[in-house]
């Protein structure tokens, strides 16, 4: 029998869970292909190091954008190579796959994901809504009659959801998350210092000194880039406070989406959430002071999950291990 896999196909990274083993792979969602033949040159970490540096004959692609597939062929090429790399794909051995999908994805988007997984070589594919996977992975009591609220802020999407009695009561998806904070930092450095930096540098700045609340000030960082006037490399010292101002706009949009999910929730569930709080997950949940900023603005307790990076994949993994228990969430062909 083929291997049973759970996959969190994220905008920035792909994680694979193998039944009875746990998470066996976490790698950037990037694939490098030959322009003419479309044959795969590299995937994951290796392809990621090639971003922006490849000769004209090679294309380096990020197949997901804003949490959904933006390049169908690149997605299945990347997954096929990953299946081979982990020994889950050969002529007589095809994996069965459970993959997460945004709760509000439409039928066309779901179909595209299923087809890409099958084209990549899977024998079957099941879908699980991402907020359900995140809640299971974070250990929320999803069958309890009291509501829980979860906010997953990743690289390409922010997904909010209120879960109660084994179902998703309401959810919102916003194509704005960590990548947008990086882009806002690039814009800030460009317009204030006339220095051009790449998104990789911007992400590093965000991780080192990024902050969403004035109480979390994380000092200064020297940043190098290309001076737009002289064309030469230049270095400036940037403060945590500047970065907080630079990312204020996308942060405000994320906050508005969280607020509106709660405002539109059924009153009884909203009352539960005011009692118990909101759980933050996804890689961007660890941005300095983000929990505090949301909490102060909404008057609700906000807790950052213990394992924000792998909640979704662990939740898919639990569903793969106990399909009966989580059957109500899973759909597939
Ligand atoms: N220390 C940190 N501070 C702020 N942001 C961080 C930190 N570490 C990682 N991130 C951000 O977390 C994001 C990645 O999160 P995650 O792995 O949950 O995304 P994803 O699942 O690939 O994307 P999505 O769910 O949106 O499709 C990136 O934008 C990254 O910059
Ligand atoms: Mg994610």
Ligand 1 interacting residues, C-beta cut-off 6 A: 10-13, 67, 154-157, 177-179, 203, 206-207, 210, 282-284, 286-287, 309
Claim to verify: residue 10 and residue 125 sit in the same structural domain: yes
Claim to verify: residue 153 and residue 223 sit in the same structural domain: yes
Nearest CA to ligand 1 atom 9: 283
Domain range holding 230? 139-305
Bridge partner list, 282 = none
Q: What is the secondary structure of 281-298 as a DSSP string?
A: ESGGGGSBTHHHHHHHHH
Claim to verify: residue 234 and residue 301 sit in the same structural domain: yes
Question: Do the beta carbons of residue 12 and residue 19 sit within 8 Å?
Answer: no
Claim to verify: residue 66 and residue 82 sit in the same structural domain: yes
In the block, tokens 């400036």 appear at 236
Q: Residue 277 belongs to a domain with what CATH number?
A: 3.30.420.40
Q: Which of 26, 131, 201, 284 to mutate to test the pocket of ligand 1 (most atoms within 8 A of CB)?
A: 284
Question: Residue 207, class by beta-carbon neighbours within 10 Å (0-12 exposed, 13-18 middle, 19+ buried)?
Answer: middle
User: Which residue from 72, 74, 70 is spatially nearest to 58, judged by alpha carbons?
Assistant: 74
Claim to verify: residue 82 and residue 184 sit in the same structural domain: no
Centre of ligand 1 to C-alpha 275, Å, is: 28
Tokens for 50, please give them: 């090639």
Claim to verify: residue 276 and residue 242 sit in the same structural domain: yes
Claim to verify: residue 147 and residue 198 sit in the same structural domain: yes
Centre of ligand 2 to C-alpha 25, Å, is: 14
Claim to verify: residue 283 and residue 257 sit in the same structural domain: yes
User: Which residue from 69, 77, 6 is spatially nearest to 47, judged by alpha carbons?
Assistant: 77
Radius of gyration of the chain (CA): 21
The number of domains in the chain is 2
* pLDDT digits (tens), the chain, 333 positions: 799 999 999 999 999 999 999 999 999 999 999 999 999 999 999 999 988 777 889 999 999 988 789 999 999 999 999 999 999 998 889 999 999 999 988 999 999 999 999 999 999 999 999 999 999 999 998 888 899 999 999 999 999 999 999 889 999 999 999 999 999 999 999 999 999 999 999 999 999 999 999 999 989 999 999 999 999 999 999 999 999 999 999 999 999 999 999 999 999 999 999 999 999 999 999 999 999 999 999 999 999 999 999 999 999 999 999 999 998 888 875
Claim to verify: residue 107 and residue 208 sit in the same structural domain: no
Centre of ligand 1 to C-alpha 116, Å, is: 23
Claim to verify: residue 236 and residue 280 sit in the same structural domain: yes
Claim to verify: residue 14 and residue 155 sit in the same structural domain: no
Claim to verify: residue 75 and residue 162 sit in the same structural domain: no
């Amino acid at each position: 029998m083929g291997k049973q896999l759970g996959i969190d196909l994220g905008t920035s990274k792909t994680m694979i869970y193998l039944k009875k083993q746990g998470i066996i792979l976490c790698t950037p969602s990037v694939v490098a292909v030959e322009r003419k033949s479309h044959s795969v040159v590299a995937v994951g970490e290796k392809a990621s190091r090639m971003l922006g540096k490849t000769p004209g004959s090679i294309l380096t692609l990020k197949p997901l954008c804003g949490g959904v597939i933006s390049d169908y062929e690149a997605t299945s090429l990347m997954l096929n190579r990953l299946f081979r790399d982990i020994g889950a794909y050969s002529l007589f051995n095809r994996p069965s796959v459970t993959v997460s999908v945004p709760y509000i994805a439409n039928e066309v988007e779901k179909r595209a994901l299923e087809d890409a997984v099958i084209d990549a070589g899977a024998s079957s594919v099941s879908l699980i809504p991402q907020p359900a996977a995140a809640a299971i992975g974070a250990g929320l009591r999803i069958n309890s009659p009291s509501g829980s609220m979860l906010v997953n802020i990743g690289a390409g999407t922010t997904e909010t959801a209120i879960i109660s009695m084994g179902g998703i009561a309401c959810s919102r998806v916003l194509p704005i998350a960590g990548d947008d904070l990086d882009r806002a930092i690039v814009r800030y450095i460009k317009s204030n210092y006339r220095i051009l930096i790449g998104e990789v540098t911007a992400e590093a700045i965000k991780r080192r000194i990024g902050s969403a609340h004035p109480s979390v000030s994380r000092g200064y960082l020297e940043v190098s880039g290309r001076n737009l006037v002289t064309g030469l490399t230049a270095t400036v010292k940037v403060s945590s406070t500047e970065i907080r101002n630079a990312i204020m706009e996308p942060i405000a949009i994320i906050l508005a989406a969280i607020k509106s999910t709660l405002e539109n929730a059924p009153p009884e569930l909203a009352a539960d959430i005011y009692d118990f709080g909101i759980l933050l997950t996804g890689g961007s949940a660890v941005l300095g002071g983000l929990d505090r900023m949301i909490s102060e603005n909404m008057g609700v307790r906000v807790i950052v999950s213990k394992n924000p990076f792998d909640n979704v994949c662990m939740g898919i993994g639990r569903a793969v291990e106990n399909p009966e228990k989580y059957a109500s969430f899973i759909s597939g062909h």
